[in-house]
Structure 1
Amino acid sequence: MSAYTGGALSVVGRATHPESHRRRGARRLAALIGVLVTAIVLAACGGVPDNSSPQPIESFKREGPTNAVPVPQSDMDPEALVRAFLEATASPTDGHAAARRFLTKPSSEQWDERGDSIILDEINTFVDQRSQNSVRMRLVGDNVAVLKSNSQLLPASGRVETTISLVRDGDQWLIDGPLPNGAMIDRSRFVATYRSVSLYFTDRTHQHLVSDPRWFYGNQDADPTILLNRLIAGPAEDLASAVDNGFPSGSALRGQAAQISGGGVRVELTGLGTLGVRDRTSLAAQIIWTLNAADIGGPYVINADGAPLIPERSAGWQPADVKSFDPLSTPSTDVGLNIVRDGALLKVTDTGTTPSGGDLGTSRDVRSASISSDGDAVAAVVAARGGAGLQLVSGQYGGQVSELASGTSITRPSFSGAHENDTVWAVIDGKPVRAVRDSQNSSEVVSTVDASSLATVARGPITELQVSPDGVRVALIVGGQVVLAVI
């Protein structure tokens, strides 16, 4: 067995969401008698213009959002008008035109709403100065998330405080004076009017797709033009090192993605140059599964530089044509539910339990285990003979297992995604470790992964580590807090 230090985790942030930000502090894991062992699916947690605002999702019919955007009313007092303004900022349409209706003309001209937006909760206003025709107040709120200009939503924390001035204009109040750059959005309004849509990029092997969630305004079907422009712009910064963008530098969408009579979408691309069939197929998969995930149905007629992307698909593509890239597919398996009880790996049946077979089924030393998504492989933590520490072992499910690594403490193992049975992750003596078994020559390579970036968001022992099915993300429990990272 050889060992070396290699690889790193890039922190995305704590696992927070505008709907659940109040659940702060330590997350406690419930202790279960008989640890369940099964193929656990983790939901996919993610260059772009620096000066563009988030774009609204709209259907081809341009239907308006379900909830009407607030407008200033003559009977609104200053506090009510400011709260309505923060709701109106949720709509980025036409340079936040709806929010600008709450501003005086000079204030609207000065306000630069482009770039990132902050999501605020627990908003309070405090009047510092009031006269018959003017009010100066402080706005204070909890910053629970940041909506990046590329539509990526990132967790955030901390308090935001800013001063807002209002003047009476005729029979109503309007916001006057400078505002902070960017938009401030009321959390409840964000939750009601935005939805998550996944863009898909290929992993490093160009054989599988990785989700890159983005958040767009509106409750209608996604506009394919907006989605494809985001896709061509590339992955989010934190994901860029783990995936590839199939679009060459200089490629672009020509015009709008057009609706086809009878259903489907026509996509005209430029700048693809001499891409081969393999790369063009994976690029088509990115487009098809991105649009499909947004409920935009096919056929997808994809042309490049004035000709079909691939001549054999000139009539259009369907998801079935790139089924091997389906990001939601999981390998079929009949391994069923397994548990660890009394130190053995047992398979749950209709009438009870039965040993899983092989070394782990007859053992009395198993502490935890994981089974690969296809059910072919198993990894486990077992007590070393003589009680001297623990061992990380792996092998064929129902067959023999052999040691990968050892230590005083080892967390429950995790396979490296849904398509890799030869790579196992665990935290050994406090450090994330990746163990790769080469089935060709029966050798193992164990590498300690650089996790120093975790300290930027959480401190404490790492008590759990699980790799997502896409193989590029990892969820950890660090000091009782859930942390998301990119491998």
Structure 2
Amino acid sequence: MLRIMKRADLTRLIAALSATVLLAGCSTLPRDTDPQVLRSFDVADSPIEVAGPTPGADPDILLRNFFSAGAFPSQQYQASRAYLTESASREWNPSVITRILERIDLNTQPGSTADERRIVIRGTQVGTLGSGGVYQAEDSSYEAEIVMRRVDDEWRIDDLPDGVVLERTEMRNHYSPRDLYFFDLSGQVLVGDRRWIYNGVQALDTTLMSLLVTGPSQQLEPGVVNQLPPGASFVGLNEGSYQFTGFSTLSEEARLSFAAQVVWALANADIPGPYSIMADGSPLIADFPLLSIDDVAEFNPAASTNAVSTLFTLRDGVISRVSSGTVTPLTGFLGEGGIDSAAISTSANVAAAVRGGDSPRLTVGSLEGTYSDVLTADTITRPTFEYAANAIWVVVDGDTPVRVTRSATTRELVQAEADIALPVGAAGAISEFQLSRTGTRVAMIMDGRVYVGVITRPGPAERRITNIVEVAPSLAGTALSLTWRQDGSLLVGTSMPEMPIWRVEMDGSATSALPSGNLSAPVVSVASSASTIYATDFHALLHLPASDTTIWREVPGLLGVRSAAIVAY
């Protein structure tokens, strides 16, 4: 009975931490918590057998094999050093940077001799892999010269730039993406922080725990909470228990938050539980030496994947509900006509719509009840919700993000402009602006380019969009529409005739075309549920079920109809 009572206490604590109060339209402001900056971490070595240089290999073949060996970081890149002369091995510093190239091209320079060759390597640098396995998307040209020399009648690399150069396929063959988790600034929901971990690492679980205590990546840091004190550390796995130290000052609530981070990082890396988590020699949560995903289920970062969604459609300014092939226009302001775009939350019974044509205004209300006009502007982007419909965001006049909430004191809808720190070179009006499920990240389209940023809080009731990076340079100038998918990737519709729809990873590590089938560019609207992708092309609204990844089909009840899908939760 004592165990049951203790479990009930844990459940009540979790409920208290995860509860949110939804108001009519929007909720109160989440609390403010400032993140901390913590140190970086380098993945531990792991012994692995990698073939060395092939005897008698020509310089170009040996050089390509050297680049392939760069995918094996074990023992301070011992596999790569086998391709170097002794002096080059002493001087080469591989840890400076890991450059990811789409493809490596080699060109031998004039003036080569029987004992020395100079080879220039070139390629498009699509990203870097930084400390802690953080991928940073880039789009630049890379060029470097490498000197090769004969040593005991075998070619070896005698002079090369510091750092590692990898083709993207090599990175994806030898590294896997794993998620760490940190709470958003409200402390309500876990936000994924993707890290690329070498497949040959000795112990994935201890690597993840070491990374977790060092804190979030620099990119995500402004948008999440890290409550660990500066001296906190992971000291290893001992007799099946994950051992941490420096936790003595943590509150009960902070311990539970960290427990949720640990459990979900391990569980989603396919490391089975239950988990024993110890802090300073005692269970992290008193009386609970073992924790499972059931104990922290309320914080499941993949909860939306299994959520039931409702399909709506926008056609000729009217929003209708679509169910089993039946299309039913809504009553209230959503069914009155004149709507240009909308976002709907069925769980919160709230909708936000842009209507008015030449004089756009943002209207907020219940699905089929009362509503209020909030703001007007020359242009207003499609509305988007924060987590649990706590607030609504739009961009007005192409450059000003606006956040709309309901005042806790007056109950009136209030708006506040958010600051935005655009990266150097970013230009053009913001035509699409969509928050991630957690409300921590935002994806946007400017001048046909796709960007992802992080939302932070400089002060009470203030918001700032920062750390904005372009994540799909290969789509530059063609992107027209986007939405977040349940797995955290982006779905992007474009004007590209042969490949009009794409999947883009949130960190920019991959951009891959989805089956085009019978889609006809331009794809001006996209939406996604857990099981289905929707796209509005030149002719109609089409959908692609997860069970059929080749043929786009028209939506039952909307045959031959060109409309936009709205997926609501």
Q: Please report the TM-score for the alignment, with normalisation by the length of structure 1.
A: 0.81
Change (3 A) 1:53 1:232: closer
Q: CA deviation at 1:471?
A: 0.9
The change in CA–CA distance for 1:143 and 1:225 in structure 2 (over 3 A counts) is same
Most deviating of 238-247 and 79-88: 238-247
Shift of 1:213: 0.4
Distance 1:162 1:351 in 2: 59
Aligned match of 2:485:
none
Which one-letter code corresponds to 2:419 in the other structure?
D
Point out where structure 2 has 5 or more consecutive residues left out of the alignment: 1-36, 456-569
Q: Which residue of 1 aligns with 2:276?
A: 301
Distance 1:54 1:76, change over 3 A: farther
In 2, the alpha carbon distance for the partners of 1:351 and 1:216 equals 45
Match of 1:344 in 2: 318
**What is the CA–CA distance in structure 1 between the aligned matches of 2:249 and 2:145, rounded to whole Å?**
55
- Cα deviation, residue 127, structure 1: 1.4
Structure 2 counterpart of 1:152, from 130, 134, 150: 134
Could you say which residue in structure 2 is the equivalent of 1:134? 116
Which aligned pairs between 1:47-58 and structure 2 lie closer than 5 A? Answer: 47=37, 49=39, 53-55=42-44
Cα distance, 1:351–1:152 mapped onto 2, change above 3 Å: closer
- In structure 1, what is the equivalent of residue 58 of structure 2? 77
- The 1:335/1:229 distance shift into structure 2, 3 A limit, reads closer
Match of 1:267 among 236, 242, 245: 242
CA shift digits 1:234-255 (9 cap, x unpaired):
111121111111321101112x
Secondary structure, aligned partner of 1:85: helix
Deviation of 1:191 after TM superposition, in Å, equals: 1.6
Asked if 1:124 is matched to 2:94, the reply is: no
1:257 aligns with 2:226: no
Matched, 1:444 2:413: yes
SS of equivalent to 2:341? strand
Query: Displacement, 1:274?
Result: 2.7
Q: Whole-Å Cα distance in 1 between the matches of residues 204 and 390 of structure 2?
A: 40
Residue identity matched to 2:345: S
Question: Using the alignment, how far apart are the partners of 2:275 and 2:174 within structure 1?
Answer: 28
Q: Out of 460-469 and 337-346, give the one that drifted further.
A: 337-346
Amino acid across the alignment from 1:338? F
Aligned to 2:334: 360
Greater Cα shift, 387-396 or 400-409: 387-396
Deviation, 1:320, is 0.9
Q: Is the 8 A contact 2:233 2:246 kept in 1?
A: yes
- 2:394 aligned with 1:426: yes
Deviations 1:108-130 (A, max 9, x none): 01011114311122311121232
Instruction: Tell me, in whole angstroms, the C-alpha distance in 1 between the residues paired with 2:286 and 2:346.
Output: 36
> Cα distance 1:338–1:317, how it changes in 2: closer, same or farther (>3 A)?
same
Counterpart-to-counterpart distance in 1, 2:334 and 2:408: 20
How far has the Cα of 1:439 moved from its partner? 6.1
Deviations 1:143-191 (A, max 9, x none): 11110112100001211111111112224211113x3222111222112
Counterpart of 1:448, as a letter, is: E
Q: Deviations over 1:90-138 (max 9, x none)?
A: 1111111111111111110101111431112231112123211221211
Amino acid of the structure 2 residue aligned with 1:414: T
Deviations 1:440-481 (A, max 9, x none): 532122122222x32425211110000001111000001000
Which runs of at least 4 in structure 1 moved beyond 4 Å after TM superposition? 47-50, 52-56, 219-222, 331-335
For 1:62-461, list aligned pairs within 5 A.
69-128=50-109, 129-177=111-159, 179-218=160-199, 223-254=204-235, 256-258=236-238, 260=240, 266-314=241-289, 316-330=290-304, 336-361=310-335, 363-372=336-345, 374=347, 376-383=349-356, 389-417=359-387, 419=388, 421-430=389-398, 431-438=400-407, 441-451=410-420, 453-461=421-429
* C-alpha separation in 2, matches of 1:197 and 1:440: 43
Alpha-carbon shift at residue 221 of structure 1 (Å): 9.2
Which residue of the partner structure matches residue 497 of structure 2?
none
> Distance in 1 between the 2:202 and 2:367 partners?
44
* 1-structure distance, mates of 2:43, 2:425: 26
Paired AA for residue 141 in structure 1: G
- After alignment, is 305-314 or 473-482 more displaced? 305-314
The residue that corresponds to 2:439 in the other structure is: 471
SS in 2 for 1:157: strand
Question: What is the distance in 2 between the residues matched to 1:394 and 1:70?
Answer: 63
User: Residue by residue, what CA displacement relative to the aligned partner does 1:59-111 show, whole Å, maximum 9, x if unpaired?
Assistant: xxx8x6xxx74521013211111111111111111111111111111110101
What letter is aligned with 2:361?
Q
TM-score scaled by length of structure 2: 0.70
Q: Which moved more, 1:141-150 or 1:211-220?
A: 211-220
Structure 1 position 365, deviation (Å):
1.3
Opposite residue 426 of structure 1, the aligned amino acid is V
* CA 1:160–1:116: 2 relative to 1, 3 Å: same
Task: Describe the SS at the equivalent of 2:132.
Answer: coil
Separation of aligned partners in 1, 2:364 and 2:122: 53
Distance 1:214-1:402 versus aligned 2 partners, 3 A rule? same
Q: Deviations over 1:211-266 (max 9, x none)?
A: 11011111789611111111100111121111111321101112x22463xxxxx2
Do the aligned residues in 1 keep the contact of 2:39 with 2:215 (CA within 8 Å)? no
Matched-pair contact (CA < 8 Å) for 1:367–1:381:
yes
CA distance in 2: counterparts of 1:373 and 1:242, whole angstroms: 26
The corresponding residue for 1:40 is none
Confirm or deny: 8 A CA contact 2:340 2:355 kept in the other structure.
yes
Matched, 1:484 2:459: no
CA distance in structure 2 between the aligned counterparts of 1:151 and 1:373, rounded to whole angstroms: 38
Decide whether the 8 Å contact of 1:381 with 1:391 is kept in 2: yes
State how many pairs are aligned: 417
Identity within the alignment, %: 33
Which 5+ residue runs of structure 1 have no aligned equivalent?
Answer: 1-46, 261-265
Contact 1:409-1:428 at 8 Å conserved across structures: yes
Structure 1 residues 285-324: Cα deviation after superposition (integer angstroms, max 9, x where no partner): 011111111111111101111111112312x000110111
SS at 2:95 equivalent: coil
User: How many angstroms does 1:55 deviate by?
Assistant: 4.6
Aligned-residue offset at 1:401: 1.8
- Per-residue CA deviation, residues 264-297 of structure 1 (Å, 9 max, x unaligned), is xx21111001322111000100111111111111
